[in-house]
Chain A
Amino acid sequence: MMYLIGAFLAVSIITLEIILFQKRSFYKKNVSLIHRLNKNLEILKALSFLTSSKASSLSEDLQQLAIYFSPQDLYQDFTVVLLKDTGKGIKGVLRYHYNQSLESKPEIKEDSTLTKAEDCYLNKIENNFSVVGDSSSSVYPLAALFPLRYSSQNWGVLMVFATNDFSKQDLDFLKAVSGVVVLLLKKFEFRQSLTDGEQVAGVDQEW
């Protein structure tokens, strides 16, 4: 009888240990996911303040935007590519890369990675976003692409490179970031098209 009880207890304890082990690994996974999501949210909160920033140039705002995407941190790389319709096709005109100034690489055509990604973007322009693998690059195997557009106006694409798969939450997060970039682009479009006085008159309209 005693041996039976002893065996029962031993089996119970082992079973519990297994459950506990599973729970622990599940919990650890949850903690890292929560950390990631919370970090994404914090970045978005910080970015939303950019929309009201009074920076004098687009590059100043993009620099600020890129600071949140440290290479050691969430994503391998952060790139904004602006495309324009030349009438004979769409051509890359502007590129902002983390740690590189806007002026240093004005053309994207020479960069094979970006050209490939640009093709993918053009092929899937109807989608809200596309995720593609770039086998030619061992450093950046994955890129997420987000069209930068407002209404029917297309500016280009936001590209983010990563070594691991993008999760649904990553895509939600980056989609929201692309919206912030659109607002920044729109802001500078208004600055170019309207004088300060006209802008004040514009926002004074009753809504």
Chain B
Amino acid sequence: MVIFLTLGLVWLIIELVRVFLLWKKNRRALSALVKSQEELGYLSFIFSEVFAQKYPVEVIFPKLLNRLRESLGWTYHSIFRLDEERQLMIVRFTGYLPDWYMEKFSTKVLVKVGDAAIGRAVSTSQPVIINASIVDPRFKSVTQVAQQTGYKSLTCCPMIGRLKVYGGFCAYSQYENIFTLHDSQFLLTCAYLYGAILETILLQEYLKKKDK
């Protein structure tokens, strides 16, 4: 009897451990599921909202940035325009960043192509992930801005269309080590779509002018 009870207890403990491990796996799986759903929902939003009505650039991009924060939770965002002649990056739109940021980086301090995270992303046509902006020795200028604005990690992606590179897009988080490889790929997809949308709007405007 004692042997049976001991075996039963051991079995019970093993089962409990298995249930616990399964529960942990499930939690991870569920959070991944929710994230995938939100990402799909955001991409679907881009098309349903943007194409249902034709908005000007000034309306579309703030709308897209706001929805990105609502859906996926990254704290701040910015879109930079590439000035091809001067090879400079100029802030065009921001999402939830302080007003001085827009003022400073659109008029006073212009990032050169190849410099800082956004300049690097545009010059290499690859996303740049900085998961510890305060201590990352590669980007001292980013460290200074991060201290002022309060973000701790960022990912920058180039906005590329069929005809040319239009600029760059950055997402920032107030937490460290938040951006995964999957996130950077997703943001790159968004940046490509932003580039395609921008190109479509510019060509559509040109076509209208031509038809007049």
Tell me, yes or no, whether A binds B: yes
Cβ contacts under 8 Å, B136 to chain A: none
Cβ contacts under 8 Å, B92 to chain A: 207
CA distance in complex: A23, B21 (Å): 11
Q: Interface residues of B: mostly helix, strand, loop or mixed?
A: helix
Task: Decide yes or no whether A54 CB sits under 8 A from chain B.
Answer: yes
By the criterion CB–CB under 8 Å, are A183 and B40 in contact?
A: no
* Chain A min CB distance to B25 (Å): 7
By the criterion CB–CB under 8 Å, are B1 and A2 in contact?
A: yes
CA distance in complex: A34, B205 (Å): 41
Task: Decide yes or no whether A90 CB sits under 8 A from chain B.
Answer: no
Task: Decide yes or no whether A198 CB sits under 8 A from chain B.
Answer: yes
Cβ contacts under 8 Å, A10 to chain B: 8
Cβ contacts under 8 Å, A19 to chain B: 19
CA distance in complex: A38, B34 (Å): 11
CA distance in complex: A169, B33 (Å): 11
By the criterion CB–CB under 8 Å, are B47 and A203 in contact?
A: no
Q: Which of A17, A20, A24, A172 contacts B40 (CB 8 A)?
A: A172
Cβ contacts under 8 Å, A44 to chain B: 40, 43, 189
* Chain B min CB distance to A87 (Å): 20
Contact indicator per residue, chain A 149-173, by CB within 8 Å of chain B (1) or not (0): 1111000000000000000010111
* Chain B residues with a Cβ under 8 A of chain A: 1, 4-5, 8-9, 11-12, 15-16, 18-19, 22-23, 25-26, 29-30, 32-33, 36-37, 39-41, 43-44, 46-48, 50-54, 57, 81, 92, 160-164, 166, 185-186, 188-189, 192-193, 195-207, 210
